[in-house]
């Protein structure tokens, strides 16, 4: 069985006195646990981007990429349980113990996790007081400046079957307690209104899955994403990127507040129901800048095979409602798949390349199947290309033949639809890490020209400019990407931090790279350089120790050689920072 090692934040929980509760009324306790999982625990884990690795009766093992997210999740669950247990007799209360550790784990091909990282988290849970959270020292140092709750240093404890003592910290959770908000690093805070663009501006909120089948969630999300893509291709429109609008998924919010946060005038929201061979979509367009008035609403009840016609019609009606007119130049047609099965496979694979090696492998398999079904499916070729690229860049897959296959599929996608901005962006990414920087720039430029709302293309252009030694242009591109995508994925801040280091703004880079969205991911290496160059060498060395615990064979020279800097001098600030932090040359 293939396996891979990585650093992860591990959360282990179980129910206090489960055997006693089950002995008193097993059916009732099981029903209450199922309700807690569906109503509280699973949604909270999802919000904080956790992955449930497995459940063991009354316990759970959950993986997070960030300790901050793991602790925030634990605090929310424990606070919610305090509220739910209010007034419940002591002998009927459901209380959790939670242990959290940051450490090395082994991920097997089936996604299961093993190793000391898991074992320590489990032992911490075992010594935890009911309703509390126990952290290892490694986890505590990641969140100590981000917590606003009572913390008890329990000293070094010899945990069962763990060779060395572990320093343990206990969080006493109460309803008023909460994690501190992350330090802002964007040009403008989301809490402050963003200026409305001159062009018609819109954000599309995630459509609600009304099918009653959680398995159809991917389909509803895919429908939303495709409408965002279609609207973003409309000439003269300003459209917020998918990642920013999906930050509101499953959260009750006032559309006027969302519009204010994202800096747009209009909000599009809706729902979808897929059953048998039918598709029902309800859509409404809201003018959030004028009191939340409804501009237009429509219901589409069609055959499932007509999904692409529905997407086109929604786009057309929105453009008409906002601009008062529509013509053939307003909406650019894009390549569509000929098979609904291929479409489902492609939609299921979206963004899996960013999650784990296993998910990325599954995405590659699904996309290869989609291409077998429809060899001229542009998006399937593009997404397979980026999945193959990330496979060897981040997930330990061999560079060959993955590198060559990624280029082949990226080029094929552009050949199928030269006007597809997404395909151009992916080809630019592949060319960038194939060290063809000039051609990569042409592709990124083309992607942005075809679709100025393509925030990811703008952000990747920022990364390219760093490698070209054009740090100011990189900063400008990153700022533009953040305006299009105010709630972006963590790699945007990673790119911004890299640009700030290149331009000599070291303290700003520390703030950017310390954000919870990116801290503790691959950006730790960039943060080490920023801290050292800012004169904060002890902190840099502390971060370096955490990094080396998961990458003991790493060297600065090899890292610099692997990055596509046009000149060695452009990589020098990063090398200097790593050396100051004591990382091996």
- Quick check: 281 pLDDT over 90? no
Mean pLDDT lowest for which of 18-32, 191-205, 395-409?
18-32
Spatial contact of 101 and 139, defined as CB atoms under 8 Å apart = yes
Residues with Cβ < 8 Å from 460, sequence gap 6 or more?
Answer: 425, 428, 429, 432, 444, 495
Q: SS in 3 state form for 160-181?
A: CCCCCCEEEEEEECCCCCEECC
Percent pLDDT > 90 in the chain is: 36
**Residue 396 has what pLDDT?**
77
Better-predicted residue by pLDDT, 316 or 482: 482
Spatial contact of 215 and 275, defined as CB atoms under 8 Å apart = no
Nearest to 469 by CA among 565, 551, 388, 385: 565
**What residue ranges define each of the domains in the chain, with the CATH number in brackets?**
3-179 (3.30.70.1230), 201-323 (3.40.50.10610), 489-585 (no CATH)
Spatial contact of 76 and 95, defined as CB atoms under 8 Å apart = no
User: What is the rounded CA–CA span in Å between residue 530 and residue 274?
Assistant: 49
pLDDT, tens digit (0-9, with 9 covering 90-100), for 419-476: 999 999 999 999 999 999 999 999 999 999 999 999 999 999 999 999 999 999 999 9
Q: What angle do CA 203, 204, 209 make, to 5 degrees?
A: 155
Kindly state the tokens that stand for 92: 């009927």
Question: Mean of the pLDDT values across residues 336-358?
Answer: 85
Kindly state the tokens that stand for 19: 């055997």
Element (H, E) at 270: strand 266-275
Kindly state the tokens that stand for 12: 């282990």
Kindly state the tokens that stand for 516: 């919870």
User: What is the rounded CA–CA span in Å between residue 368 and residue 388?
Assistant: 11
**Residue 566 has what pLDDT?**
93
CB atoms near residue 365 (< 10 Å): 14
Per-residue pLDDT band at 90 (split at 50, 70, 90) = confident
Give how far Cα 528 sits from Cα of 497, 542, 552, Å. Answer: 11, 9, 15
**Residue 146 has what pLDDT?**
66
pTM of the prediction? 0.65
Spatial contact of 228 and 245, defined as CB atoms under 8 Å apart = yes
pLDDT, tens digit (0-9, with 9 covering 90-100), for 289-303: 877 778 888 888 888
User: What is the rounded CA–CA span in Å between residue 313 and residue 430?
Assistant: 34
Mean pLDDT is highest, among 168-177, 196-205, 294-303, 409-418, for 409-418
Question: Mean of the pLDDT values across residues 65-91?
Answer: 83
User: What is the rounded CA–CA span in Å between residue 29 and residue 39?
Assistant: 15
C-alpha of 272 from chain center: 24
Mean pLDDT is highest, among 79-93, 106-120, 174-188, 325-339, for 106-120
User: What is the rounded CA–CA span in Å between residue 158 and residue 165?
Assistant: 4
Nearest to 73 by CA among 153, 171, 150: 171
Give how far Cα 82 sits from Cα of 17, 77, 88, 135, Å. Answer: 16, 9, 10, 20
Strands (E), 144-240: 147-148, 150-157, 166-172, 178-179, 201-204, 208-209, 238-239
Q: What DSSP letter does each residue of 504-528 carry, written as one string?
A: T-HHHHHHHHTSTTTTTTTTHHHHH
Per-residue pLDDT band at 325 (split at 50, 70, 90) = low
Nearest to 234 by CA among 335, 350, 334, 307: 334
**Residue 302 has what pLDDT?**
86
Mean pLDDT lowest for which of 24-28, 100-104, 341-345?
24-28
How many residues are listed for the chain in this entry? 585
Spatial contact of 223 and 291, defined as CB atoms under 8 Å apart = no
Kindly state the tokens that stand for 496: 């911004």
User: What is the rounded CA–CA span in Å between residue 9 and residue 494?
Assistant: 19
Per-residue pLDDT band at 174 (split at 50, 70, 90) = low
pLDDT, tens digit (0-9, with 9 covering 90-100), for 110-126: 788 888 889 999 999 98
Spatial contact of 297 and 288, defined as CB atoms under 8 Å apart = no
Give how far Cα 304 sits from Cα of 189, 214, 456, 498, Å. Answer: 41, 18, 30, 45
pLDDT, tens digit (0-9, with 9 covering 90-100), for 370-409: 999 999 999 999 999 999 998 888 777 888 899 999 999 9
User: Can you list the alpha helix ranges (DSSP code H) found in 451-535?
Assistant: 455-467, 471-484, 490-502, 506-513, 524-533
Q: What DSSP letter does each residue of 6-58 carry, written as one string?
A: EEEEEEEEEETTHHHHHHHHHHHHHHHHHHHIIIIIHHHHHHTT-EEEEEETT
Dihedral sign (CA 149, 154, 160, 166): positive
Nearest to 311 by CA among 340, 345, 289, 349: 340
Percent pLDDT > 70 in the chain is: 91
């Amino acid at each position: 069985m293939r396996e891979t090692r990585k650093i992860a934040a591990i959360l282990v929980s179980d129910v206090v006195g489960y055997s006693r509760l089950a002995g008193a009324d097993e059916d009732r306790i099981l029903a209450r646990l199922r309700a807690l999982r569906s109503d509280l625990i699973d949604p909270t884990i999802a919000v904080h981007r956790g992955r449930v690795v497995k459940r063991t009766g009354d316990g759970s093992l959950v993986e997070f990429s960030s300790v901050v997210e793991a602790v925030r999740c634990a605090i929310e669950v424990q606070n919610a349980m305090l509220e739910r247990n209010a007034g419940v007799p002591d002998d009927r209360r459901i209380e959790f113990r939670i242990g959290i550790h940051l450490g090395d784990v082994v991920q097997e091909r089936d996604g299961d996790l093993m190793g000391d990282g898991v074992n320590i988290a489990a032992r911490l849970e075992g010594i935890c007081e009911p309703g509390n959270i126990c952290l290892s020292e490694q986890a505590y140092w990641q969140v100590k400046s981000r917590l606003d709750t009572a913390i008890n240093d329990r000293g070094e404890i010899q945990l069962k079957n763990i060779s060395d003592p572990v320093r343990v910290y206990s969080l006493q959770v109460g309803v008023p307690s909460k994690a501190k908000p992350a330090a802002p690093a964007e040009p403008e805070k989301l809490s402050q209104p963003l200026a409305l663009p001159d062009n018609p501006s819109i954000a599309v909120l995630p459509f609600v899955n009304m099918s009653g089948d959680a398995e159809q969630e991917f389909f509803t999300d895919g429908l939303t994403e495709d409408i965002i893509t279609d609207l973003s291709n409309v000439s003269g429109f300003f459209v917020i990127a998918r990642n920013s609008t999906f930050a509101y998924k499953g959260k009750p919010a006032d559309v006027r507040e969302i519009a204010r946060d994202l800096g747009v005038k209009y909000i599009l929201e809706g729902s979808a129901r897929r059953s048998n061979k039918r598709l029902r979509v309800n859509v409404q367009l809201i003018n959030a800048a004028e009191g939340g008035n409804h501009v237009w609403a429509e219901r589409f009840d069609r055959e499932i095979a007509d999904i692409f016609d529905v997407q086109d019609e929604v786009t057309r009606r929105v453009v008409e409602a906002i601009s008062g007119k529509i013509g053939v130049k307003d909406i650019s047609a894009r390549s569509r798949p000929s098979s609904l099965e291929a479409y489902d496979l492609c939609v299921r694979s979206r963004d899996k390349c960013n999650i784990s090696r296993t998910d990325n492998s599954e995405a590659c398999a699904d996309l290869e199947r989609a291409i077998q079904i429809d060899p001229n499916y542009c998006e399937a070729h593009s997404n397979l290309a980026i999945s193959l690229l990330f496979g060897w860049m981040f997930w330990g897959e061999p560079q060959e033949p993955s590198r060559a296959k990624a280029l082949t599929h990226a080029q094929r996608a552009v050949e199928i639809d030269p006007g597809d901005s997404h395909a151009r962006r992916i080809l630019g990414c592949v060319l960038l890490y194939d060290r063809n920087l000039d051609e990569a720039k042409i592709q990124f430029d083309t992607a942005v020209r075809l679709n100025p709302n393509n925030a990811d293309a703008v952000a990747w252009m920022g990364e390219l400019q760093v490698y070209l030694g054009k740090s100011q242009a990189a900063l400008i591109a990153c700022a533009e990407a953040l305006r299009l995508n105010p709630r972006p994925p963590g790699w945007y801040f990673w790119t911004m931090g890299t640009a700030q280091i290149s331009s000599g703004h070291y303290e700003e880079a520390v703030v950017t790279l310390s954000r919870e969205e990116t801290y503790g991911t691959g950006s730790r290496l960039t943060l080490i350089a920023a801290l050292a160059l800012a004169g904060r060498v002890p902190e840099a060395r502390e971060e370096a120790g955490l990094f080396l615990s998961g990458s003991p064979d790493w060297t600065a020279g090899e890292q610099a050689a692997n990055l596509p800097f046009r000149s060695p001098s452009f990589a020098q600030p990063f090398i200097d920072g790593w050396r100051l932090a004591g990382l091996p040359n």
